[in-house]
Amino acid sequence: MINNENPNDTFMLYDLKVDVVAPRGNMICNHIIGDYFELKGENLSIPAGKSFSIYALAALLPLLPAKQRPTDKNDWMTTDQEVACPDPHCGALFRITRTKEHVFRHSEVTAIPLKETDTFS
């Protein structure tokens, strides 16, 4: 049973937009400058009629949950936005941009209730 009674179970995540940007060399893969996908919470969306390489997506996926969370101003996750295509011969770059902030509730994203001991400082 999901408990929606705790008003202190909120956390914030950034929405992200990941764009194919100007290359640092020749693009070998099928990337098209301006193509993008968006991540809102756990949901990834690609505009109708567009595509995104699964290999590029596989390289980006480990970074996205960290980029969604608030980070220290000195953390590289805050300052660095561009990621190279995983194909060493392709010059494509992908820019990860934090867009909007969304507040989520623990009780709405998991069935595991919070305990008093689950707080970290």
**Beta partners for residue 66, in sequence order:** none
Condensed to tens digits (0 to 9), the pLDDT of residues 68-95 reads 999 999 999 999 999 999 999 999 999 9
Residue 86 located in a structural domain: yes
Domain interval for residue 60: 17-108
Q: What is the pTM of this model?
A: 0.82
Task: Give the Cα separation of 84 and 64 in Å (integer).
Answer: 14
Task: Give the Cα separation of 20 and 53 in Å (integer).
Answer: 11
Tokens of 60: 């980006």
Condensed to tens digits (0 to 9), the pLDDT of residues 29-65 reads 999 999 999 999 999 999 999 999 999 999 999 999 9
Neighbours of 35 (CB within 10 A): 18
Residue 34 located in a structural domain: yes
Residue 119 located in a structural domain: no
Residue 29 located in a structural domain: yes
Number of domain units in the chain: 1
Residue 98 located in a structural domain: yes
Residue 8 located in a structural domain: no
Is residue 105 within 8 A of residue 4, CB to CB? The reply is yes
Residue 1 located in a structural domain: no
Neighbours of 106 (CB within 10 A): 17
Residue 10 located in a structural domain: no
83 CB-contact burial (10 Å; exposed 0-12 / middle 13-18 / buried 19+): middle
